[in-house]
Amino acid sequence: MAGDDLHAWLDREPGMISVYAGPLGAPPVWTRHAEATHYAASTMKLAVLAALHRVAEAGDLDLDAPVEVVNSFTSARPGAPPYSCRRAYDNDGEVWDRLGGQAPLRWLAERMIVRSSNLATNLVIEHVGRPAIAEVWRLVGARHSVTGRGIEDFAAREAQITNLVTAADLAALLDAIATGATRPGPLASPGGCAAMLDVLCAQQIRQDIAEGLPADTRLAHKNGWVRGVRHGAAVVYPDDADAYLLVVCTTDDRTDARDDVDARQLVADISRRVWQARHDLTILTPTGSPAAPPPSRR
C-alpha cells in the first residue's frame, strides 16, 4: 500500500491517528499528525527509563542498590497528600509481591518496561525526580511531550498536570537510545543506551506494533493503553533490512470510542504495512507531501 493509500485509509478511521516511520538517525519517510499531542499512557515510561540511567551515570544513584518498595508517593500537585496506586490496575504482580521489602532500581526499571508495572514506575520516578525526566525530553529535542506526574496521581490530574507525548517526540527519544548504543549521544553512554535497548527488547507485552511483524522479529518496544488510547513505539530490527523507527499514537475521544481490541489491531495493521515496505521505506512517503524532519536535538 503506497503512501497516498495509507493516508486515505487512515482518514477513514475515527479519532486522531499519529504516525512516525523512518530509518534510525535520519529524517522520517512518513509522518501523519506526528506533532499532535496524546495522553501518554505507559509510553511515558520510556522517558523514566532514560532519566534513571542518566542519574545513575552521574553518580547520584546506584542501579543495583536495594530501595524500599512502598506504595506512597509525592504528588506533583503542591500541597496535596501522598498518593498510591492500585494493584488491580497493574500488569505485574511480582513488584507488588515485594511490597514492604526491597528491590534494586535496575530490577524495578526492567519490570516498569517488560511488564509495564505502575508500582515500579512510581518508585523509579520517586527516586529520579520529575526534573530529570523533563531533562530527557529536552535533550532529545521534544517539542510537546511532558511527564508531569506519576501514575494515579489524581490530585495532580485534577490540577491539569498530565503526561503528554507526540509520535515525533517518542521517535526522537527512541532514536537517541538506539543510536546512542553505538556512538556517544545526548542521553547516556553507549553502555547505558545498550542496557536500555536490552530491556526494551525483553518486552513481554508484545502487542500492537509487534503483532504486525513476524513472530521472531527483534524490536525494542514500549506500548501504552487506557480507555480510548492505544500507542506503540518501537525500533524494529529486520534480519534482511536496516532498522527502522515506528511510532503510532491513537486517541478516540468519542463516547462510543473503538474498543481497545480494534485500536490494537489498527496499530498492528499499520505496522504490517510498514514492515512490507522495509526494503524501501520511501514508498511510504505520500506524493507531494515530504515527511517533516524529526525534532532537532539541543
Each residue of 217-233: pLDDT tens digit? 999 999 999 999 999 99
Mean pLDDT, the chain, rounded, equals 94
Give, as one character, the DSSP assignment of residue 21: E
Task: Encode pLDDT of 153-202 as tens digits.
Answer: 999 999 999 999 999 999 999 999 999 999 999 999 999 999 999 999 99
Distance CA 28, CA 76 (A): 35
Q: Is the pLDDT of residue 213 over 70?
A: yes
Dist CA 85 CA 92 (whole Å)? 13
Q: How many Å apart are CA 151 and CA 148, to the nearest integer?
A: 10
| pLDDT recorded at residue 4 | 76
Give the amino acid at 12.
Answer: R
The average pLDDT across 127-153 equals 98
DSSP 82: P
> For the purposes of burial, counting CB atoms within 10 Å of the CB of 152, is it exposed (0-12), middle (13-18) or buried (19 or more)?
middle
For residues 64 and 56, what is the distance between their CA atoms, to the nearest angstrom? 10
Query: How many whole angstroms separate alpha carbon 200 and alpha carbon 131?
Result: 23
Cell of 92: 505485574
Whether 69 has a pLDDT exceeding 60, the answer reads yes
Residue type, 90: D
- Band of residue 288 on the pLDDT scale cut at 50, 70, 90: low
